[in-house]
Amino acid sequence: MNGTQTLATKKKQSEGSRTVGRVLRLLELLAGDNKAMRLVDIARTLELPVSSIHVLLGELLKYNYLTVDEGDNRYKQSSGLVLLANRVLAGTQLTRAAKPVLESLGAELNESVYIGMSHASGIIYVDTVERTYGLLSRLPLGVPRPSYASSSGMVFLAYHVGPEMLASAIANLKLQPITEHTVVDPTKLKTMIHTVIEQGYAINDQAVNDAVCGVSAPIFFHDRSLAGTVTVSIPEKRFRGREGTFIEPTVAAAHAVSRNLGAHQPEEIVQYYRNRLATFSQAERHRPRRRRAVAS
């Protein structure tokens, strides 16, 4: 890299850092003040050019973090900012409730254990207890897991998307093979997710990484919504033939975390989703099939 490229890179990084700082100051101002504010008042308070603030406000409006009153052009926080705050609080609550369970499960199985958090596009791992014995791969924190391949992603499809919207959700996925074991047939994947609902856990059989398997079980909030997952990552050679050794403790750990979050009867929540699947499947069987038009 020559000197000109180095200077350009440093300048770009500096501008990016400055923009992030301005966005954070802007959000802090509007999140901490119940009053709606005009553009000029925001710029004056932050001691920044009106033109710069106008650009930042436009981006925050686009992502629904702010809203503007068209009558007097005053800006205030919107539902997107509230949802973001709730996700942060939920993540903190989840990791606090899960940490002792995570440590106990990791020690019992001597395998790496992860806590996944549910969000709009899938599951992200937010905490882990890693074991060094025979570790083949470290799963990244903060990166969405592939919903059609990972065990945590399949739990997301089963309990967040649910049986009623599953077909349309799968239709919108880009089903591409990650390994030779990845299932990319929509019909087969739908059947697999139904099995997850029936049994209360998901298994990843080398669908994301060769020679690595995974077991995930759902964590619920008290309102039956999916909070996240407990996931155990296991080398295939230690998983094969000993599946029950990992499945039962993983499910028990997920239920323990659910109870810590206020869902005192997680087994009944799992049954609630089984009932939903049964009702949906029965309705599907009795739904009239469309007849194909026959050309005359």
pLDDT digits (tens, 9 = 90+) for 149-167: 999 999 999 999 999 999 9
Question: How much is the pLDDT for 177?
Answer: 93
pLDDT digits (tens, 9 = 90+) for 180-202: 999 999 999 999 999 999 999 99
pLDDT digits (tens, 9 = 90+) for 128-141: 887 765 444 566 67
pLDDT digits (tens, 9 = 90+) for 207-229: 988 889 999 999 999 999 999 99
Enumerate the domain spans of the chain.
12-77, 88-286
Q: Which residues contact 151 (CB under 8 A, 6 or more apart)?
A: 201, 202, 203, 204, 214, 215, 216, 229, 231
CATH architecture, domain defined by 12-77: Orthogonal Bundle (1.10)
Q: Do domains 12-77 and 88-286 have the same CATH topology?
A: no
pLDDT over threshold 80, residue 257: yes
Tell me the whole-structure pTM to 2 decimals.
0.69
Q: Give the pair of three-digit tokens for residue 42.
A: 């925001």
Question: How much is the pLDDT for 168?
Answer: 93
**Alpha helices per DSSP H over 76-130:** 79-109
Residue range 88-286 in CATH 3.30.870.10: no
